[in-house]
Amino acid sequence: MKRYTQRQLKNLVALGAAVDVTDATDRNAIPCYYRKIGYSKGVYGLNGLLLQSDGGQLYAVCARTTAIFLF
């Protein structure tokens, strides 16, 4: 997996290249089959995640929330 900064993940969402799933509380927010292609790490652990579905759509978790641990 590639390491990203939180700013890079937020820029992907702002450009429309990724869908923001930061506030997702269940796994139904994204397709069943996905793979983790990147992460963002801070002082206290993971604070971001970049996922890709089988169709090529990108999904980003841009903050340290429970969504990181769901996916």
Domain locations in the chain as residue ranges:
2-70
Element holding 68 (H helix, E strand):
helix 66-70
Nearest residue to 12 (alpha-carbon basis) of 69, 53, 43, 58:
58
Please give the Cα distance from 52 to 71 (Å, whole number). 11
Per-residue pLDDT tens, the chain, 71 aa: give them.
Answer: 899 999 999 999 999 999 999 887 777 767 778 899 999 999 989 999 999 998 899 999 998 888 888 87
pTM: 0.86
Longest dimension (CA), the chain: 33
Q: Taking the CB of residue 10, how many other CB atoms lie within 10 A of it?
A: 19
